[in-house]
Amino acid sequence: MSQLEKKLKPIVDAINKGKKVTFFNGAGISTGAGIPDFRSPETGLYANLAKLNLPFAEAVFDIDFFEDNPKPFYTLAEELYPGKYAPTKFHYLIKLLQDQDSLLRVYTQNIDTLERLAGVEDDYIVEAHGSFARNHCIKCHREMDNETLKKHMHDETKDGIPTCETCQGYVKPDIVFFGEGLPGRFFQQWDEDCDDVEIALVAGTSLTVYPFASLPASLGKKSLRVLINKEKVGDFSDNYRKSDIVILEDCELFAEQLSSMLGLRDELEALVEQSKSKFGTGKHISPETTVDEIEEKLKVEAHLHEKKEDDDITELTEKTEKIGLTEETSFNNKEKEEKAKARAEAKEKAKIEKLEEIANTYL
């Protein structure tokens, strides 16, 4: 048994006994998807914001700074806007635990919505730092829908900054900025869950931003606490609790190994495989564009398919003429009509399947 397997064994045993997992996620679970975390020294977002000319790195998410100058946030938002990245193995592990009724809750600091895209249901997710799902004017609080927000973000006459159509105040996605309170649901849900946490998986977070960072430390002694991170963080650093399990590994490796030991590895790999055809790699898949893109793709595919069949028919007609058969005897119209009908039905079916797939992802 490898060192990692030895560390994972108590977690596997607890899950197999019916104990439920609560996740405490940070940006490190999404680096495998290609999204930088915030504080890693060279690759983290805050180390790479020089081009935004900020007085201090975290100003990009600071509400007072945003009120004066929203441009740096919107420059970054272009990169971070959900839809560009596919979930990782770690995200799919959470979904598999949900499906086998081994999940209590997912507390996440991430605004990338990858837990949702992996298929974790709304009720299980607490987005502690909000998300891009809704947007409001910071002055009059009027809501702006996502489509209008994106139009404004791409409008050069507005310098890419969404402004309220009522009062001209700046509009901001409902991401929790420094200087703002966390969503009410965070506190209510924690109140409900805190005594029920059996297995706490704290993953990919530096545990530096409060109040989220205080959750693992506030757990009672009966919770099995596990840290999966590249470095020791929070009160895991001082070996505070003997029962803690500290796994200083990549989140993806952890997801592979734990899923293997739970007998879920094939399902995990199948989800990752499906994810490739669903999301592609590094391609925008926001709900609005996806439907259009898929319609367009289907049109191109249908055109190519039809062109090939027409070419085949021409070739076949030429051949039959060459050997002296009439078109009617070799390739009659009824057959042609049936083929066209079957093709139209297949096309419609493929379109409906794709649209259902999107609906399942986003509803």
> What is d(CA 271, CA 96) in angstroms, rounded to the nearest whole number?
9
- Is 257 annotated as a binding-site member? no
- Note the residue count of the chain: 363
From the CB of 194, what's the least distance to ligand OAD, in Å? 20
From the CB of 109, what's the least distance to ligand OAD, in Å? 3
- Is residue 113 within 8 A of residue 121, CB to CB? The reply is no
- Closer residue to ligand OAD in complex, CB, 175/261: 175
From the CB of 80, what's the least distance to ligand OAD, in Å? 9
- Closer residue to ligand OAD in complex, CB, 209/271: 209
From the CB of 129, what's the least distance to ligand OAD, in Å? 4
The Cβ of residue 229 has, within 10 Å, a number of other Cβ atoms equal to 24
- Closer residue to ligand OAD in complex, CB, 18/210: 210
Does the annotation mark 129 as catalytic? yes
Q: Which two tokens stand for residue 254?
A: 């952890």
User: 91, 129, 152, 284: which one is catalytic?
Assistant: 129
Distance of alpha carbon 267 from the chain centroid: 18
- Is 40 annotated as a binding-site member? no
- Is 28 annotated as a binding-site member? yes
From the CB of 267, what's the least distance to ligand OAD, in Å? 22
Q: Which two tokens stand for residue 337?
A: 């009509």
> What is d(CA 313, CA 307) in angstroms, rounded to the nearest whole number?
10
- Closer residue to ligand OAD in complex, CB, 40/69: 40
- Is 27 annotated as a binding-site member? yes
- Is 163 annotated as a binding-site member? no
Q: Classify 74 as helix, strand or coil.
A: helix
Give buried/exposed letters for 302-312 (b at 16+ CB in 10 A, else e).
beeeeeeeeee
Q: How far is CA 303 from CA 300, 332, 338, in A?
A: 5, 23, 18
Alpha-helix runs per DSSP H in 203-286:
251-261, 265-279
> Which chain residues interact with ligand OAD by CB under 6 A?
26-28, 31-32, 37-40, 44, 61, 109, 111, 129, 175-176, 204-206, 208-209, 229-231, 233, 250-251
- Closer residue to ligand OAD in complex, CB, 24/124: 24
- Is 223 annotated as a binding-site member? no
Name the strand (E) or helix (H) holding 191: helix 184-193
As annotated, the active-site residues are 129
Which amino acids are annotated as binding site for Zn(2+), given as ranges? Answer: 137, 140, 164, 167
Which amino acids are annotated as binding site for NAD(+), given as ranges? Answer: 27-31, 37-39, 109-112, 205-206, 229-231, 251
Which amino acids are annotated as binding site, given as ranges? Answer: 27-31, 37-39, 109-112, 137, 140, 164, 167, 205-206, 229-231, 251
